[in-house]
Structure 1
Amino acid sequence: MKLTDKIPVPHMTPDKKKRMIDMFNRYSLLIHAVLSMALCFTIETISRHSAVKALTFVDKHTWAFAYNSFIIFASLAIVYLFRRRMCLRIFISGLWLFLGTVNGCILSNRVTPFGYTDLKCLSDLLSMQNTNYFSAGEATLVVFVVAAFLAFCIFLFIKGPKFQGERRKFLTPVMVAACFLMLPVTTQAAQNSNIIASYFANIAQGYENYGFVYGFSTSVVDRGMSKPKDYSRETIETAQKKSKQTATQNADDPNIIVVLLESFIDPTEVDYLNFSEDPIPNFRELTQNYSTGYLTVPVVGAGTANTEFEVLTGMSMQYFGTGEYPYKTILKQTDCESIASDLSRIGYGTHVVHNNGGNFYSRANAFSMMGFDSFTSKEMMNIQEYTPLGSWPTDNILINETMKALDSTENQSDLVYTITVQGHGDYPTEKILDNPEIRVSGAPTEEANYQWEYYTNMIHEVDKFIKNLTTELEKRDENTIVVFFGDHLPSLNLEESNMASESIFKTKYATWNNFGLAKKDADLCAYELLAKTTNDLNIHEGTIFTYEQNALDQGTTGSENYLDGLNNLQYDLLYGDRYAYNGEDAYPASDLVMGVEDTAIANIFPSANEGYLIVGGKNFTRWSRVYINGEKVPSAFISSSRLRIKADALSDQDTVVVSQMGSSNTVFRSTPEYTYHDPNAENTEAKMTEQ
């Protein structure tokens, strides 16, 4: 006897099925509303890693939750335009859940939530597999899940049910359009009622208070800069009249070294931590003897490129859309005045040195758009030392690379922008350092203590780098100033109440110089840092920097008029009519050169290993690749002067080139062509001649 003979299996009759379908159709709007709220709650649970925290959000921000649900409801309304409603309903719901899941995963590794501009950084993330961002296995799993979901949706589209009811060809589109037209109306109403905010000073806090759906949606629609209400030629002329009019007076312009210290803070300012000794004695000595202060930065836990953008351009990120990365958006198409282009006007050589990939954050393109002469990225460096986790290079290599940049120009002052990476997260929750130089205690959990111990010891090494760099610069017979600054707090769940500065948006900067520049402490915004530095040096160049220099002198930074002028100026330079330049392109992009040292092939000869050849030359790195007759062949890095290839890959009279390769097969720099002469071919030809 079959099991089904004993246990009755419910069977839906055609009439019962029809009644159920009729009920779903009749109450579909109500069902969509319930589905929207369920999706919104699920997304918040995933994003906050807790159903309890999601419930707290619903309780404390009920109207914000309702508004987020309405955004999902409006997107689901699209299904009414089609007969394959089930398929489309599942697809839209799955898309929202996917975005929420991505946000939840991202917030497991950084403080800044997922925004639209992160989609433009996918190429950066793909180039960083098997790092602390995500593993190759995780990437494979994501691809598999997405592919399976799309396959299921395609199956439903082909085999799934169709809506059989009457289609109201006029009423239905009007209803759907009404849902979308209500979005800007309800958005404005919610903003006016302080249910949601139009600008997030703290993106992470904004997502937490106003919900992921709204946060992500506003990052999609609110991109770039909005045109200021009072933008005009007259407004720009007024702002320029408020700029410092004094001409540059420094007859002996010093070298200017600007050093971004990745995730660098003073750990002793975290109220619950204890240390066996001062983790940053060298940085602290600089703060005691040279100009220093707190630096207000635009990001927390991630987003280095945005602090960098503010420092190099003098422009404020507060006027851009939510989660914006100008490097990945406007600087893809528009050149941008910066400290590099301003100092180039008075004869400076301008260089960037960074021990990470040249394409990360689209930096190679951005630095060209900002007018730099050269960019030495990791692809141009013979990196040998890595952090204990093996995730990032150590920073000591940057000292020699900075010296090379200074030496690359003769009888010329230089600007060198050096970007460190050793302090970068993620920080392990298990014990990695058996005998840490700095012992840490006081964190709320053992896992957190391991994280703080690892982080503290990494920036202790960075602190040694600071001392070693200034020591090397002291040996040079050149006037030099160095500006060190932290780009953002580490992603270690810090809150404002934990910080001595009472802000998670404040790091510190410190300076060093070897020519007796007076100590002038000041708390600054990141976009004012180099305006102050150049002002102290009597260098008065640039549209933005001279505007800020005047405000620094007058003590009007932060005033409404000052910020309005800054908003107008940066809109004019990036998106407007460039009234400040009389409509001209005054600061065109540079022909950026990757690295400051030539690579070259000297010879090709047999390897000690049979069946292989050695390509001999200079300045090879782990990112050097061999091309024979324009085709890449497998190669192995042996040393800075040797690469190994298979002997059968090369024939007499073949042309050989070695290229320094970035991610996405970008060729950063190449050797001149080398024509290979096979000695065996010559011997064979000689024997044939003799015969």
Structure 2
Amino acid sequence: MKKIFGKIGAFFKQGRQIIKKPFVALANSKAVKWYFDSKFHKGWIKLWTDYAFWMHIPLSMLLVFIMEWLSRHSLVQACGFVVDHTGPFLFNSYCIFVALSIVFLSRRRGWWRLFISMIFIILGIINCIILLNRVSPFGYTDLYMISDLLTMQDSNYFSATQAIISIIALIIYIIILVIYAKFGPKKKDVKPFWQRLVLVIALFISLYPTTIFLRSSGVMTSYFGNLSQGYLDYGYLYGFSTSVLDRGMNRPFGYSDSKIKSIIEADQAYVDSIQTTTYDIAGEDGQSDGNLTVTEIDTGDNKPNIVVMLLESFYDVSECEFLETSEDPIPFVHYLEDNYSTGHCIVPVVGAGTCNSEFEILTGLSCNFFGPGEYPQKTILKETDVESYADVLHDDGYATHIVHNNGGNFYSRANAFSMMGFDTFSSKEMLDITEYTPLGNWPTDDILIGGTMDAMDSTAGSDFVYTITVEGHGSYPTYPVETDPAIKVKANGKTEGENYAWEYYVNRIYNVDDFLKQYIDALDSRGEDTLVIMFGDHLPTMGLTEDEVATGDLYQTKYFTWNNFGMPKEDKDLTTYQLVSEYLNRLGIHNGNINAYHQRVMAEGKKYGTGDYMNDLRLLQYDIMYGNRYTYKYGTSYKPTEIEMGVLDVTIDKAYFFNGRYHIYGEQFTKWSKVFVNGEQVPTKYESGQVLSIKASDVKNGDIITVCQMGSSDTVFRESNKYVVVDPSYAEEDIVTEEDEEEESADN
């Protein structure tokens, strides 16, 4: 063993010498020696030794410039930031200057200077890569997504190549720091430590009044209406810093028990005053049933099912100024717009951040009150529950479901939906997905039809279903994928690669349009009163600008509806936090604290986004999520639920040994089904929705097997019945006891 270790040690020693040789040769070269003996080098070292404080000024500016260059993917645009946004550029530089002052607390100033500088460079590199794949820049909330990222290697979000490059770069960085720490110079003849400490503390303290002054003077801002544009206008470092410091909600001015009570009482007075609204409901023959009222619709067996559908990256390309298509890619959507209520939907995000549109649509609360780029599903909903429309409809006897063809743990959805009070969640792990988009990176949405029908069939009475699609998800390839796409596209003024990307996207929403028709046909065939509200969560990640969209607003998508009980067509532009409440109002559903608030202020004619509308909403939102919950004291109180993953039982019916494998037959198997033998997971092969197989050597006679639907991070979402393995070739060994031997001797 010593010889083996000796050979291994010799191998590494020889390798070290080989690697070290060229570096030693370089260090001893005449050119290097000339440089170190030159006046320039000595003068440079003297500058950093004697005038380090002042040298940090140009270094700070250089670091900010590099970060902006990386973030904007353009040297010219980085120069434009310096010229056109000089104030923010200087403030970003001052922030780095303050951070660099930490070096004065140590004798190893060079090491700390390198360490701090590289942190900022790494942030710039990360943002550079992030912006190649989405519109929203890298923020602090993305750090909460690391657990999701690590479970998605070699996926749509995080390729294996990117993972390897990241690891190699991190190792190189650590090696450089270790070498510098060991061989780097130490500062001599430094000033007393207390003087250096006072300087550093004073500089850090100065950041607060400086920030307040610049915000009050308009040079900087505390809120980004457009996160991406905010980072561009005020600098990436400032944007990232606000995402770190401005998280959650601050206590609003005027927050108190009495104030919340007055809001709740006003809402309740409005609800009490509402007169029954009369709808002209069409009968089965298409003729009017007369004065059938919403109250009559909303009682007994006639409560309509309510389906809210989030359409990933859905955009009506007829509103794109430069795009031409060979035919209408979304004819069914346009049919819905012509015949049922529709409008533009004002969403909180552009190009990414689906879960924030989701948060607003399900809760009626606003993401504008959180920190820039914050995902409440990854932050506050980890700690507390929140009132949602699922809670409101529970009170009216609805069963509440979610159906989604992506991972149950992504965006911490399983937890978030539990905190919102939903009953069941059928994520991709519960769905037998076999069809994918041409790139193979996203499931097609047709699987959601069966998933929705199963959810609605699982309970008696009326259902509230929230359905999330993914087929329209980016990114979109800048090369041809389909040889003969159904819809031909011409993107005027765009590059060939951009044209290919648009053509791919348009053909995805063409398929989504067909899916929507099939989905609504399936709902209609149930013979139950049903309302469907569909909306785009954000514009696609295509680099659209405001002058390229008909609305002139990158935060406007569309919503459209369908119903089979004669609800009158009434078009209206709404925000995501208003949308569901508006339609519950039309159905005569007024309960719920947030729901009643929206219905009252909309009835009073207050406009979304204004102080009159938002101030009291901010108070209610803070109270429910961070405050003392006076809302639940004077209004209706809600609690989270123990959400059930999936609605159909996973079952094992039978199993056989064949050809070296153990084949398991049953129901509701998916690609995320894994076999457990005596409680231990074993490698599993998905054969079909009814068949799984494992190696025959992984089981033996008498073992107990189960099938579990597995989410990321080894989460068991659902478990099958237990099944005892029976091996026909198994024969029990004869065990001879002492009593048997005695009996045999007596017989003889």
Provide the TM-score with structure 1 as the length reference.
Answer: 0.96
Equivalent in 566, 573, 581 of residue 617 of structure 2: 566
Are 1:474 and 2:524 matched, yes or no? Answer: yes
**CA–CA distance in 2 between the matches of 1:7 and 1:579?**
75
| Pairing partner for 1:415 from 464, 479, 484 | 464
Structure 2 equivalent of residue 52 of structure 1: 76
Letter of the 1:41 counterpart: F
Q: Contact 1:636/1:643 (CA < 8 Å) preserved in 2?
A: yes
Which position in structure 2 is the counterpart of 1:606?
657
How far has the Cα of 1:649 moved from its partner?
A: 0.9
Secondary structure at the aligned position of 1:643 is classed as: strand
> In 1, Cα distance between the equivalents of 2:335 and 2:326?
18
**2:352, 2:534 → 1: CA distance?**
18
Q: Give me the whole-angstrom Cα distance separating, in 1, the residues matched to 2:189 and 2:623.
A: 55
Shift of 1:288: 0.8
Deviation per CA, 1:251-276, whole angstroms, max 9, x where unpaired? 13210011100000100100111111
For residues 117-132 of structure 1, the aligned pairs below 5 Å read 117-132=141-156
For the residue of structure 2 that corresponds to 1:122, the secondary structure is helix
Counterpart Cα distance in 1 of 2:244 and 2:629: 26
Aligned pair partner of 1:234 in 254, 258, 280: 258
State the Cα distance separating 1:131 from its structure 2 match: 3.3
Structure 1 residue 156 displacement after superposition: 1.7
Alignment pair present for 1:105 and 2:129: yes
Tell me the residue number matched to 1:637. 686
Worse overlay, 421-430 or 444-453: 444-453
Specify the code of the residue in structure 1 equivalent to 2:271: Q
Alignment of 1:136-285 (within 5 A): 136-243=160-267, 244-246=270-272, 249=295, 250-251=298-299, 252-285=302-335
State the alpha-carbon separation in 2 of the partners of residues 452 and 509 from structure 1: 21
Percent identical pairs in the alignment equals 47
CA deviations over 1:171-226 (Å, ceiling 9, x no partner): 11111011111111111111112111110000000000000000001100000011
SS in 2 for 1:627: strand
Task: State yes or no: 1:681 paired with 2:730.
Answer: yes
Contact 1:133/1:426 (<8 A) preserved: no
Q: Mind listing any 5+ residue stretches in structure 1 that lack a counterpart? A: none
Supply the distance in 2 between the matched residues of 1:494 and 1:209 (Cα, whole angstroms).
17
1:498 alignment counterpart: 548
Change (3 A) 1:456 1:14: closer
Query: Are the structure 2 counterparts of residues 603 and 88 from structure 1 closer, same or farther at C-alpha, using a change threshold of 3 Å?
Result: same
Contact 1:258 1:484 in 2 (8 A): yes
Task: For residue 310 of structure 1, give the secondary structure of its aligned residue in structure 2.
Answer: helix
For 1:268 and 1:210, locate their aligned partners in 2 and report how far apart those are by CA, in whole Å: 33
Structure 2: which amino acid aligns with 1:304? T
Structure 2 counterpart SS, 1:52: helix
Structure 2 spans left out of the alignment, 5+ residues: 1-24, 275-293
Q: Partner of 1:434 in structure 2?
A: 483
Aligned to 2:355: 305
Across the aligned residues of Structure 1 and Structure 2, the Cα RMSD in angstroms comes to 2.3
CA deviations over 1:325-357 (Å, ceiling 9, x no partner): 000000001001101111111211000000000
Distance in 2 separating the partners of 1:495 and 1:300: 11
User: What is the rounded CA distance, in whole Å, between the counterparts of 1:6 and 1:685 in structure 2?
Assistant: 86
Aligned residues of 2:491 and 2:498 also touching (Cα < 8 A)? no
Task: Show the counterpart of 1:78.
Answer: 102
Q: Name 2:674's counterpart in structure 1.
A: 625
Per-residue deviation, 1:494: 0.6
Query: Which entry has the higher C-alpha Rg, 1 or 2?
Result: 2
Query: Match for residue 87 of structure 1?
Result: 111
Aligned to 2:718: 669
Matching residue of 2:280: none
- 1:18 positional shift: 7.9
Deviates more, 1:288-297 or 1:246-255: 246-255
Give the number of equivalent residue pairs.
686
Give the secondary structure class of the aligned counterpart of 1:242. helix
SS in 1 for 2:365: coil
CA 1:112–1:188: 2 relative to 1, 3 Å: same
Indicate the SS of the match to 1:342. helix
Q: Is the 8 A contact 1:319 1:567 kept in 2?
A: yes
Alpha-carbon distance, 1:127 to partner = 2.8
Name the structure 1 match of 2:7.
Answer: none
The residue that corresponds to 2:701 in the other structure is: 652
CA displacement, residues 293-345 of structure 1 (integer Å, 9 cap, x when unaligned): 00000000000000000000000111111110000000001001101111111
The residue type equivalent to 1:67 in the other structure is F
**TM-fit CA distance, 1:140:** 1.0
Change (3 A) 1:635 1:542: same
Inter-partner Cα distance in structure 2 for 1:585 and 1:509: 29
Per-residue deviation, residues 120-158 of structure 1 (Å, max 9, x unmatched): 112222333333433111111011101210222122223
Distance in 2, Cα, partners of 1:5 & 1:59: 43
Displacement after TM superposition at 1:165 (Å): 2.3
Residues in 2 aligned to 1:457 and 1:120: alpha-carbon distance in whole angstroms: 34
1:458 pairs, out of 490, 503, 508, with 508
* Aligned residue among 428, 449, 466 for 1:378: 428
Cα distance in 1 for residues equivalent to 2:41 and 2:169 = 32
Q: What is aligned with 2:3?
A: none
Instruction: Output the TM-score relative to the length of structure 2.
Output: 0.88
Q: Partner amino acid for 2:633?
A: N
- Cα distance in structure 1, aligned partners of 2:456 and 2:190: 76
Partner Cα distance (1:548, 1:20) in 2 = 65
Q: State the AA in 2 paired with 1:397.
A: I
Show the 5 A alignment for 1:539-554. Answer: 539-554=589-604
